[in-house]
Amino acid sequence: MTKLEELIDLLVKNKLITAAALAEIKTLPVFSVNPEEAIVKNGSVDIEELTKLKAKVYGFTYQSLLDRKISDQALNSIPLEAAGNYKTICFQINTKKMLVGIFDPENYKAIEAIDFLAKKQRLSPEYFLISRLSFEQALAQYKVSEGEASALDSEDSSVHYKRLNEEVSGALKFKDEEDALDQAKNRTEDEKIEEIIRVAPVSKIVSVIIRHAVEGRASDIHIEPMQKESRVRYRIDGILHTSLILPKNVHSAIVGRIKVLAELRLDETRMPQDGRIRININNRDIDLRVSVLPLLEEEKVVMRILDITKGAPTLEDLGFMGPGLKIILKNLEKTDGMFLVAGPTGSGKSTTLFSVLTSLNEEGINISTLEDPIEYYVKGANQSQVRPEIGFTFASGLRSLLRQDPDVIMVGEIRDNETAELGIHASLTGHFVLSTLHTNDALGAIPRLLDMKIEPFLLGSTLNLVLAQRLARKICTHCKVEQKLPDDVIENIKKELAVTPSAVIKQMLPDFAINKIKFYKGEGCARCGSTGYLGRVALAEVLDVNDKIKEIIMDNKKNLTIDDLVKNQDFITMRQDGIIKALLGLTTVEEIIRTV
């Protein structure tokens, strides 16, 4: 049940609204945009009573600020600009605490901002849920100087702080810009169209969309045309969320603005285009990998967000642990052979390779890469972008790379027989080769390479390790609680643990007892956007190609089994790794089922 459904259920139970009236309100167009406002206006529900019930649903204490005189000291502990932008009010303050009212319990950015302000003042914030009416009356008590008023009204401030829908609504005064674009369609000069798009309000809309995606931890932005509107979706922790609906007639202008920023051709609307945008947001260097795809009538844009400032995460940060991590680190000490990362698109392969390359990156080592596209920049590495349209493919690039005296070679992906064969020969001639492969699990990599006509004795001689992975959402630590699971699910988990190598369980779960297993979930809070998840963790299986496995490969045995592996090493599947991480409280059983 969603938070809105819980709130509606409480309204009916408390007889604040009848089921018949509620059914009628749900048919109104305004209900899909702002259900609470629709209930207050059309259901004659008192806004304070609604806020009281909402506080119960979100686990806050209700507070009314109506007709309450707030001291200047309390008000000014949160500057007027921040109060207006984050929709928060400090209504009481003492030597240790500041009592803060918020009316949007899902605005985790506001809570993070106030936590920061409170810490600077050496105060502990305590949050209360207030109604919009309480907030507006309290905000009116600020003594606004002329300078503060102009700061609040400035465009830069509103773009930086206000919430996504409010900012874009303000920017959607696009009639003049739309007319200008219509006139521009009859011109042939790209410069004229580019200039119109640059000065139009649509540039503000694009900057707001990108800024909020970065601040909201999104990995991708999807801007897609619908039948009657344009939809903006963010992918956060692997799941797409609709964040904004725009009028259809502004879609082409937004695509045009993005093309200008990515230095793509404005007049090309029939062919896909790829580009890159480098921007700075809140002192963070952000790379946006842009893909424009023509659809039936309009073009769709997808932007992959890469935060360069963060630097490379360590393997431990990504979620690798236990025996699997030890095997990876042992293989990274080798100076030749092949290190493969397997998994479908979006499983974090590039990030893992970025982490590995950064750990190998030393002054005495020459690292050369072939990528399509270059996702992360590694300082000191020689990174090349393949261009198949002009004949610069992985295969041809790899031939040239071998003449560059490399110690470590990273090939973005093994896609065909020729690339696979060249990678194997590079490994044989004393190079350490890193690459990715699209297979579902670690076991599938070996038959896949053999199907690419690689000789079994060559593969057995060069392959060091296959790492297969998926990404599961991590439980939000701020709202983590114990979870009760159905008996049949528990029994299936116990069966899976029974066939998991005991050495792995002892190392990763030192206090493990089969009859005392506990699982956890996130209840949902302001910091995780009420999803119960915050961040992602890798679920991995690590196949160490030791001497026994090499013999099996050289015997041309394509169909390796789990039994073959367990006899020779402490191998665990992604599912088993996921169950262990669920027992450690890192993720949920639902995520294991969804992901693996």
| Residue ranges of domains in the chain, CATH in brackets | 3-155 (3.30.300.160), 164-307 (3.30.450.90), 315-595 (3.40.50.300)
3-state secondary structure of 589: helix
Q: How does the average pLDDT of the chain come out, rounded?
A: 84
CA 594 to chain centre: 17
3-state secondary structure of 233: strand
Residue 365 near residue 384 (C-beta atoms within 8 A): no
Distance CA 194, CA 493 (A): 58
**C-alpha triplet 542, 547, 552: angle, nearest 5°:** 85
Distance CA 301, CA 168 (A): 18
CB 286 within 8 A of CB 308: yes
Strand order in the sheet with 97-102: 61-62, 124-129, 97-102, 88-93
Buried b (16+ CB within 10 A) or exposed e, 56-70: ebbebebbbbeeeeb
Strand, helix or coil at 556? Answer: coil
Q: Annotate 38-87 with DSSP letters as a single string.
A: HHHHHS---HHHHHHHHHHHHT-EE---TT----HHHHHTS-HHHHHHHT
Q: Find the angle CA(109)-CA(111)-CA(114) to the nearest 5 degrees.
A: 110
CB 467 within 8 A of CB 553: no
Q: Which of the residues in the chain have pLDDT under 50? A: 144-162, 173-179, 184-190, 192-200
Q: DSSP for 466-495? A: EEEEEEEEEEPTTSEEEE---HHHHHHHHH
Nearest 10 degrees: Cα torsion 291, 293, 299, 300: -60
Instruction: Give the SS3 label for residue 251.
Output: helix
Q: Pick the closest to residue 440 from 571, 553, 590, 595 (CA basis).
A: 595
Backbone angles phi, psi at 292, to 5 degrees: -115, 125
Counting beta carbons within 10 angstroms of the beta carbon of residue 350, is it exposed (0 to 12), middle (13 to 18) or buried (19 or more)?
buried
Helical pair 35-42 and 3-13, crossing angle rounded to 10 deg = 20
What's the rounded Cα separation, in Å, for the pair 412 and 550? 25
DSSP strand pairing (367-371 vs 382-385): parallel
* Dist CA 409 CA 42 (whole Å): 65
Tokens of 92: 């009481």
* 399-449 per-position pLDDT tens digit: 888 889 999 999 988 988 888 998 999 999 899 999 999 888 898 899 899
Strand positions, DSSP E, 295-362: 299-307, 337-342
Give kind and range of the element (H or E) at residue 360: helix 349-360
Structure tokens at 232: 């903006």
- Do the Cβ atoms of 67 and 137 come closer than 8 Å? yes
Specify the pLDDT at position 340.
Answer: 95
Q: CA geometry: angle at 378 spanning 374 and 380, to 5°?
A: 125
Which pLDDT value is given to residue 81? 73
Dihedral-angle region of residue 391 (phi above 0 means left; psi in -120 to 50 means alpha; beta otherwise): left
| CA nearest to 134, candidates 106, 92, 93, 103 | 103
Rounded Cα–Cα distance for residues 195 and 445 (Å) = 50
pLDDT tens profile 149-206: 333 333 333 333 345 655 565 555 443 444 455 554 444 444 544 444 444 478 888 9
For residue 458 the two structure tokens come to 């060559």
- In terms of Cα–Cα distance, which of 391, 390, 411 is closest to 402? 411
Which residue in the block uniquely carries the two structure tokens 């390359």? 357
Contacts of 20 (CB under 8 A, 6+ apart): none
- Contact by Cβ (8 Å): 91, 99: yes
Identify the residue whose tokens are 């392969």: 349
Peptide bond into 373 cis (omega under 30): yes
According to the model, what pLDDT value does residue 169 have? 58
Judging by DSSP bridges, how do beta strands 432-437 and 408-411 pair with one another?
Answer: parallel
